[in-house]
Amino acid sequence: MPSWFKEYFSSKSNSNDGDGRFYYGWVVLAVCLILITVTYGVRLSFGVFFESLEQDFGWTRALTSSVFSVYMLIGSLFAILGGWVADRYGAKTAFMVMAFFAFLGLALTSRVSTLWHIYLSYSLLVAMGTGATYPIATSLAIRWFKERRALALAIVTSGVGLGSILMAPVASYLITGYGWRVSSLAIGLIAFIIMIPCSFLLRRTPVEAKALSKDEQQKTSNLNFTEGRDNEFREFSIIQAIKTRNFLLMICILFFFSFCLFMVMTHIVRHAIDLGIEPIQAASIISISGFANIPTRILTGFVSDRFGRKRAALICALLMAAAMLWLTQSSSLWMLYVFAAAFGAAYGGLSPPIVAIVGDTFGLRNIGAILGILEVGWVLGAAAGPALTGYIFDTTGGYDLAFLSGVLAALVIVILVFLIKVPTAEKSTINRRLTN
């Protein structure tokens, strides 16, 4: 085995107190990647079920969209709770409980007959099973990696793209061959079978495994926290984090980010079908978006670690605005494929630097709960985007105004990212790397 390979994956090159052996953090990254792939596959496949639900129950698009919107709203509550549970009791416990509810919710969804049934089974129970995945998985990546934090986050969050690549075509195939009810049950079984064994492979970092003494905890809680100073030894409480400007900017960025993302993911398949495109080809638009975002995440993670979080995020936000503008003019399959590639690259690249700034700014002690609270902004946007898009379609008969609102949302992200204050520690690290 080459020496550079051993060095790259050793604990010494990834942890301050490493001894040179293989770093278990890479196993944690792989497991988190799988967990996000499964749970986001469930989440992003809702657009594939959209037409079947609309036709079977005779719902309007706004009403059908509301099922997903309520799911995202409830998911925000469980994102906070799940992040807190992971901080206190470990990610393994959190994911085992989530696996049970994900299966139960999807199994019951396959038997629904009225609107309130699906609100209970999908919007509530599936939210309990999937809502906290992102904050828990990303908090693990932040805890296990420091020098390659954005790259680690890029690897983990690539599961968002993989989920759409794998689950959307599977759901579409099952719906076409066996109906949407069988597809829902099958996806629930897949999620349960994968999530349970993965949960057993998760563990706390070596530092976290050593319990702090009461004196050390008291010393930590009495630290003076000042935004903008070197962040290496700072640990924010939840209340202290919420009071900072960066937190407010982050929650707004996540709102407009998910507003734009889930507007597309929920309605793009139905929009393509309206243009006369076959359902399986329409579902492939989501898959292309997923394919495009994976390499961009990795590239952006590397660039972000080396040249700065803000630069990478600004480029991706501008690309998202351009992609949404292209969508407003897209009327054929090839144009939608171009959009999917550009949009997938944009949303894939935007996430790692933004989440890395959270870890750089607020420390590790309460990172799961902090990310869970930030998830509120994400899910509010995810609830508003699909619902507003469905309402605009029902009232205007088209998606043009909705997609233009997506352009505006992406431009707002550009402004908000520009206003973020990068921690001093990151600036120093970047300057050292640029001069080497």
pLDDT of 238-259, one tens digit each? 788 888 888 899 999 999 998 9
- What length does the chain have? 436
112, part of any domain: yes
Q: Which of 169, 163, 133 is nearest to 290 (CA)?
A: 163
pLDDT of the residue at 223:
39
Give the three-state DSSP class for 10: strand
Q: Rounded to whole angstroms, what are the CA distances from 26 to 217, 300, 365?
A: 29, 19, 21
The domain of 41 spans 20-204+231-435
Q: What is the domain count for the chain?
A: 1
Structure-token match 């394919």, residue found: 291
Residue 136 lies in a domain: yes
Has residue 214 been placed in a domain?
no
pLDDT by position in tens, the chain (length 436): 554 344 444 444 455 445 556 788 889 999 999 999 998 888 877 877 877 888 888 888 778 878 888 888 888 888 888 888 887 788 888 899 999 999 999 999 888 888 888 899 998 999 999 888 888 888 888 888 877 777 888 888 888 778 877 887 788 888 888 888 988 899 899 999 999 999 999 887 766 655 444 444 444 444 333 333 444 446 777 788 888 888 899 999 999 998 998 888 888 888 888 888 888 788 788 778 878 887 888 887 777 777 777 888 898 999 999 999 998 888 788 889 999 999 989 988 888 888 888 877 887 777 777 887 887 888 788 778 888 888 898 888 888 899 999 999 999 999 998 888 876 555 444 444 444 4
pTM score of the predicted model: 0.71
**pLDDT value at position 227?**
39
Residue 225 resides in a domain: no
Q: Kindly give, in sequence order, each residue whose CB lies less than 8 Å from that of residue 351, ignoring residues fewer than 6 positions away.
A: 153, 157, 160, 257, 297
User: How much of the chain, in percent, has pLDDT values that exceed 70?
Assistant: 85
Asked whether residue 309 is assigned to any structural domain, the reply reads yes
Say what the pLDDT of residue 166 is.
81
Backbone CA torsion sign across 186, 191, 196, 198: positive
In a domain, 424, yes or no: yes
Asked, for residue 144, whether it belongs to a domain, the answer is: yes
Q: How far apart are CA 76 and CA 346, in angstroms?
A: 23
Rounded Cα distance, 216 and 232, in Å: 17
pLDDT tens digit sequence for 40-73: 888 877 877 877 888 888 888 778 878 888 888 8
Q: In whole angstroms, give the CA distance from residue 324 to residue 194.
A: 34
Pair of tokens at residue 393:
């379609």
Q: What is the CATH number of the domain that holds 431?
A: 1.20.1250.20
pLDDT digit string (tens) for 266-318?
888 888 888 888 887 887 887 788 788 878 888 877 777 777 778 888 989 99
Assigned domain for 384 exists: yes
